[in-house]
Structure 1
Amino acid sequence: MHTSFSDEELAFRDEVRAFMRENFTPDLARRLACDKTFKDAQVEWEKKLFAKGWIAPNWPVEYGGTGWTVAEKFIFESERSAAGAADVMPFGLKMLSSVILGFGSEAQKQRFLPKILSSDEWWCQGYSEPGAGSDLAALKTSAELDNGEYVVNGHKIWTSYAHYADWIFCLVRTSKEAKKQQGISFLLIDMNTPGITVKPIVSIDGRHTLNEVFFDDVRVPVENLIGEPGKGWTYAKALLTHERSMAGVADSKRDMREIREWAKQEINGGKPLLEDPLFRKRLTDVEIDLMALEYTELRTLAKAMKGQGPGTESSILKIKGTEIQQAMQELRMDLAGYYAGIVPGELSPEDTGHEFGSSAREKYMYGRASTLYGGSNEIQRGIIAKFVLGL
């Protein structure tokens, strides 16, 4: 994509490049890739961004936001991706923060936002349940009032990074009398509260990022309720539009560059795979889709800068962003060939003489979930059909 920048924006781009080069070190990247050192490394990286004042581009300036223009946000994400630097953890900084800023009390803003901003408290998301995923309104985790506290009982699943989290924001059922969407409330729960049990789920990529979370008579102060009882569905929808707005364009562009470079090196029939007409067409098709997605994301950012929240564009970004990610993961697998079948720990890249076979398999396997989390793509198509096409 060709974009013209002003002299000030070009100076900002150079500043971002220098910051990434100096602060996102190879050692930090190595520790982020290891489950045992991931959290410490992620917090270290986020604290560098916090110290620079760059941790929360989408927050209001008065609460620690950057005040960047659409162009500056675009530049920052592009340069972060080009440097291979990690994004921030989204649960507090991108998702919950939008709910607290929009619907939380001033006391809640003062209590929670500073520690989210500084990465001193980590959050996870308690939405999905064994019987309530795409049909989230069917959730059964209950919260009953008792002497000024909510007593929570239930079971959440697919909870990313719950084993690292200090707090969890949960959708809970506080009323069984109203329609199922109207009986849901939005509750903030300290993960150290007695009665909470976290059990790991090791996914098919061999890594532990997912968990089950069980609540057994967990007592939560009533002041941890966001907004009004029974309005949690409204707040959850606002949060999900922010989750679905994460199209991952910058990271996909970096992945595309990597795929193109590997395709120059992988030999098929005596020629680089990049010269294979069929592979090159597939690669070009994905690049065209990615360019169109980037323009759509920029339009959404422009609306946000005018104070307009993301609407049905979020569903479009979510669908196309995840489909593009999966298409690139399939291209990686084709590039890796039989090297993608080597089990981690059996042979190293030095043993096989192949650098990215293992990572291609991991990305492909974990990436199968991208069209499910945040609301499955089938659900997103239903939203578009109803609110855009009027069907």
Structure 2
Amino acid sequence: MMSKGVSRTVVSYNSMILGHCRQGNLDMASRVFSEMLEMGLKPNVITYSVLMDGYFKRGDTEYAFDVFDRMVDENIVPSDFTYNTIINGLCKVGRTSDAQDMLKKFVENGFIPICLTYNSIIDGYLREGSINSALTVYREMCESGVSPNVVTYTTLINGFCKSNNIGLAMKMRNEMKNKGLKLDVTAYCALIDGFCKQRDMETASQLFSELVEVGLSPNSVVYNSMISGYRNLRNMEAALNLQKRMVNEGIPCDLKTYTTLIDGLLKEGKLLLASDLYSEMLAKGIMPDIITFTVLINEGNLQEAFRLHNEMLDKGLVPDDTTYDILVNGKVNGGNPLSGVSRV
């Protein structure tokens, strides 16, 4: 642009700042902002809002508010995007209560909250484990005439499932259906995982079938939840069948898939099958982590256990307390103590 004599504008600078912010390069974004000022161009509300959003996403709330204060000092009126950026940014760093207080001030200044605004606060409270606060905001949202969308319900369902409030999660799912909203893969995944953790594989399987029937494709997260659920019930036949289905559908098995299956097979004494899966995992370039090694060490073969322990160290993995508990206290082969090994 410069070589062809094309003048740089506020719009072109805003685009550059946005690009650097999306890449997480706030130093470059700040440098472009300074260059913009040096060129005699006046930043607008979009410039400041984009820069604030970048700092919030990096967790630098102090810098974000410095940008906001500078904008106000320049007598630039904040936009809805500005307000939503501040609310979302505070919620993401665990300051949801502060975000809600600021929302009240923004409303006094004429800001009208939208679905996105409430979704940010609901998500923030759920991340902090404040279920009641999230529900209160959800009710306020409905009472104010703002209709919850798929993101709202998915956020609630996910949060309720993670806090073992499956009943509330199913209530949200039913509300979605009554309003004609379709669950997405994320919502189904949360529900399936919740029922799997409660060892209710019947309901989990029904939801899995429903997911497929409505035209959605299960991803590795959904399959891993189901496989873990069957492993916990010692039903490795069902778990392995799901893994085969994953392969047939072209869904790659990841480290969690292999670790869960190997753990279940070892607990059933099927060492050969477990060994085959471990070899398959390595052949695909999937490297074991501490959890995988701990599972393998707990297989009952002491010589192999110590070899795997040394392999962990060679790979730079630090064994956790469970691993050392198995090795030192002899919690292998039915809990028989290690003979001739002194305890630390």
TM bin, normalised by shorter chain, reads under 0.3
**Whose radius of gyration is greater, 1 or 2?**
2
Larger strand fraction of residues: 1
TM-score, structure 1 normalization: 0.20
Larger helix fraction of residues: 2
TM-score, structure 2 normalization: 0.22
Q: Indicate the structure whose relative CO is greater, using CA pairs within 8 Å and at least 6 residues apart.
A: 1
